[in-house]
Amino acid sequence: MNEAGLRRLSGEAFCYLTTVGRKTGRPHEIEIWFAVAPDGDALYMLSGGRDHSDWVRNLMKEPKVRIRIADETFDGSALVIEGGDEDPLARDLLVEKYERKPGKLSRWRQRSLPVRVGFSS
């Protein structure tokens, strides 16, 4: 994983996250908002549906995921980070990136489940 490459893509509006279906074993792709970690070695996402979202349930069973941003694809490992040191960072980065009207995303920020996708070098 080239950290500069991930940072270069941080301005893209969304990414595509592919998880492995927990029941079917088939790829399941969603379009989702993301933010790049300050050190450029991970992505953060927030699940408004928390652990009721299929994509979160899938990655909890099989953390290996694929991320596509623009024309770049990366393999990574996903982890729910609620309550950890990165939790507030993930929430802050996503709201900072996407909130256009102050306070508009405050409820989403507070209630969503933060997920980190890390990449091996």
pLDDT, mean of residues 74-97: 95
Longest dimension (CA), the chain: 41
Domain CATH code at residue 14: 2.30.110.10
Between residues 84 and 114, which one has the greater pLDDT? 114
Give residue 22's domain range.
3-118
pTM higher than the cut 0.85: yes
Cα→Cα distances 117→19, 36, 67, 74, 100, Å = 11, 10, 9, 10, 25
pLDDT, mean of residues 94-106: 89
> Total domain count for the chain?
1
